[in-house]
Amino acid sequence: MECPPPICTKEASVTCELCEGPEEMTEPLKQCTAWLSAYFCEPRITEKLPIPSFHHPVFEQASFTRQVLWTLLRDVKFGETVSYKQLADLAGNSKAARAVGGAMRSNPEKFWSLGKGSLLSSSYVSP
């Protein structure tokens, strides 16, 4: 597998490099690798890439938690901050701010919410 040149931007404090993988990668693995590399090295371009498939039980069944997490991933851009109430509105249930807090606590993919802030409506930073 050919290694792309290391990427480092003003946004990222790390250099990203992907090497020593299988000679051939499936298309979903290529998409996931490109998305993760962009997320950690050039977060602003992730919105231009297709969202990779996440194979975790929380994403396999229809639930409010899944709706909240997909909404966070899809609609809240890197560097933006939303309150739990705003995220509940975006997810389709404006009265479910507390449920959004529960969804955020059960988030199995915590890394992709790191560059996005979610706040309690009282403006305290959430745990």
pTM of the model: 0.59
| Residue ranges in 26-83 assigned as alpha helix (H) | 27-41, 57-60, 64-75
Q: Could you say which of 1.10.3720.10, 3.40.50.1460, 3.90.1150.10, 1.10.10.10 is the CATH number of the domain covering 57-119?
A: 1.10.10.10
Closest to 3 (Cα-Cα) out of 18, 14, 24, 16: 18
At 29, list the tokens: 């693995």
How many whole angstroms from its chain centre is CA 83?
A: 16
Q: What is the pLDDT of residue 35?
A: 81
Low-confidence ranges of the chain (pLDDT < 70): 1-23, 54-56, 108-127
Query: How many whole angstroms separate alpha carbon 51 and alpha carbon 3?
Result: 22
Three-state DSSP class for residue 82? strand
Question: How far, in Å, CA of 23 to CA of 78, rounded?
Answer: 32
The predicted pLDDT at position 98 comes to 92
How confident is the model at residue 65, as a pLDDT?
A: 87
Q: Where are the domains of the chain?
A: 1-53, 57-119
